[in-house]
Amino acid sequence: MLPEISLRDRLKQRVLAVTPDSFEALALDVFRYQAVENEVYRQYLRHLNVQPDAVRHLEQIPFLPLDFFKTRRILTGPVSPEITFQSSGTSGQVTSQHAVADAAFYRTVSRQIFERTYGPLREWVVLALLPSYLERGNSSLVYMVQHFIDQTTRPASGFFLHNTDELRQALKKLPSGTPPAAKRNAPRHQAEHRPPPTLLVGVTFALLDLAESGEDWSFLGKIPNFVVMETGGMKGRRREMLREEVHATLTRAFGVPRIHSEYGMTELLSQAYSPGEGIFHVPPTMRVLLRDVNDPFSSLRPGGRNTGGINVIDLANVDSCAFLETKDLGSYACPTPFDVPPFFRPSSDHLKTKSRRNSAHRSGVRARLVRHLPERGHFVQWPDHQNR
């Protein structure tokens, strides 16, 4: 007789196969599982007087503020972490930690999301420009990108820490575009050997440093299937800029029509990708719900133009917490009010303290919970999606 599969493993199997139609039922099952098996989340719900059995819809689920990751080890069930990711921070700041009990599951989820958006990783050249992240050694972003590089069959793939000359040489070796007439007249066996797609993924400040280095990077626009992707983050190295300003600078310098973006954070195992203009495609394992900036317990309906605080359901967080309240602002990019939108647009600004000042009682209760729930782990700083 085959051994019985645990609830945890059954949920993970369902996460890897989730569809838009099955998302809500699975999210509610994950909620009920974590409401019982996650000590911190269970106490949070109890102090909010939330009865898990009474929750019937996604909008009724309370979202755990990210600053719980500053003071607690957020784990569901009797599991032990295989790896602990730590968010970045400027000098003197403490950082957030995410204990991951199944690193292989994270690799599978992140690869599945990327390939659903961009195609098989084995076909890509992946060039990573992630200084400060790479130096730390415990970044979820570096871990994910290293896995992507491991999946490629292209020897040109790799990390570039500070050596922009080496990066330039690697980029120069990539094949440039072939004139259309030559392509039409090429033998069939040559046409089938098309240049591989190339991803230059970098933290924002490093890409800007590259763009403003004084070198001519316009040749990048002639490389077929070339994608520049920013992951956010200035890390105190440069002044903060609006995303539109960043993208305008990078497109001019690199000669590419648009800049892609990745939305992720230390506390999430899923990512969303944007092919341009700051509109992110949400993967099957994730859903974004917006909350009123004046009341963190009030949801905004899709279809309007209102900006709200971003709440994320990440079903891949089976072993930690799948329901997270971030400090990011965003708006729905879906035109209809009836469907749950597959797209969202994060703001270039981040939600600071407004939602807590204007919802005194309930937010005050929540703030006290953050301070007084039983201590677990380390005291770390509130992160955002740029701190990975």
Contact criterion met (CB below 8 Å) for 57 and 63? no
Highest mean pLDDT among 158-167, 215-224, 238-247: 215-224
Q: What's the whole-number mean pLDDT along residues 10-30?
A: 97
**Tokens describing residue 85:** 């990711």
Q: How far apart are CA 327 and CA 44, in angstroms?
A: 18
Question: 259 and 110, same structural domain?
Answer: yes
Up-side HSE of residue 346: CA atoms within 13 Å toward CB?
Answer: 29
The DSSP letter of residue 76 is B
- 374 confidence band (pLDDT: 50, 70, 90): very low
Question: 217 and 118, same structural domain?
Answer: yes
Q: What's the whole-number mean pLDDT along residues 122-144?
A: 88
Q: What is the dihedral of CA 282, 59, 38, 285, to 10 degrees?
A: -20
Question: 97 and 35, same structural domain?
Answer: yes
Contact criterion met (CB below 8 Å) for 334 and 303? yes
Question: 155 and 231, same structural domain?
Answer: yes
Highest mean pLDDT among 32-46, 131-145, 174-188, 331-345: 32-46
Q: Reply yes or no on whether the pLDDT at 381 is more than 50.
A: no
Contact criterion met (CB below 8 Å) for 386 and 138? no
Summarize pLDDT for 278-295 with one digit per residue, the tens.
889 999 999 999 999 888
Per the structure, the complete domain to which residue 227 belongs is given by 104-177+193-274
Give the number of other Cβ atoms within 10 Å of residue 257's Cβ.
Answer: 8
Q: Reply yes or no on whether the pLDDT at 190 is more than 60.
A: no
Question: 311 and 250, same structural domain?
Answer: no
Contact criterion met (CB below 8 Å) for 99 and 74? yes
Domain contains 68: yes
pLDDT of the residue at 241: 82
Beta bridge partners of 87: none
Q: Which residue has the higher pLDDT, 49 or 240?
A: 49
Question: 125 and 53, same structural domain?
Answer: no
Domain contains 182: no
Amino acid symbol at 264: G
List the CATH number of the domain containing 137: 3.40.50
Residues 6+ away with beta carbon under 8 Å from 364:
none
Count of domains forming the chain? 2
The DSSP letter of residue 38 is B
Tell me, rounded to whole angstroms, the distance of Cα 385 from its chain centroid. Answer: 7
Summarize pLDDT for 137-183 with one digit per residue, the tens.
789 999 999 999 999 999 999 998 777 888 999 999 888 754 444 44
Summarize pLDDT for 96-105 with one digit per residue, the tens.
999 999 999 9
Q: What's the whole-number mean pLDDT along residues 315-326?
A: 97
Give the number of other Cβ atoms within 10 Å of residue 307's Cβ.
Answer: 18
Question: 114 and 81, same structural domain?
Answer: no
The mean-pLDDT minimum among 50-59, 199-208, 267-276, 331-340 falls in 331-340
pLDDT of the residue at 143: 96
Q: How far apart are CA 357 and CA 334, in angstroms?
A: 30
- Write down which residue in 248, 274, 300 finishes a domain: 274
Q: Reply yes or no on whether the pLDDT at 2 is more than 70.
A: no
Domain contains 166: yes
Contact criterion met (CB below 8 Å) for 384 and 350? yes
Q: What is the mean pLDDT of the chain?
A: 83
Of 246, 259, 241, which is closest to residue 208 (Cα–Cα)? 246
Q: Reply yes or no on whether the pLDDT at 189 is more than 50.
A: no
Residues 6+ away with beta carbon under 8 Å from 260:
227, 228, 229, 230, 273, 274, 275, 276
Provide, rounded to the nearest whole percent, the portion of the chain with pLDDT above 70. 78
Q: How far apart are CA 325 and CA 313, in angstroms?
A: 9
Q: How far apart are CA 158 and CA 171, in angstroms?
A: 12
pLDDT of the residue at 298: 87
Question: 223 and 244, same structural domain?
Answer: yes
Query: Cα dist. 198→1, 128, 233, 248, 259 in Å?
Result: 48, 11, 22, 21, 13
Domain contains 184: no
Query: Cα dist. 23→60, 118, 261, 270, 303 in Å?
Result: 15, 22, 24, 14, 20
Question: 163 and 130, same structural domain?
Answer: yes
Q: How far apart are CA 123 and CA 119, in angstroms?
A: 8
Question: 112 and 225, same structural domain?
Answer: yes
Summarize pLDDT for 68-117 with one digit per residue, the tens.
998 899 999 999 999 999 987 655 677 899 999 999 999 999 999 999 99
Burial category of 51 from C-beta neighbours within 10 Å (exposed 0-12, middle 13-18, buried 19 and up): exposed
Amino acid symbol at 295: D
Question: 322 and 246, same structural domain?
Answer: no
Question: 364 and 246, same structural domain?
Answer: no
Give the number of other Cβ atoms within 10 Å of residue 60's Cβ.
Answer: 13
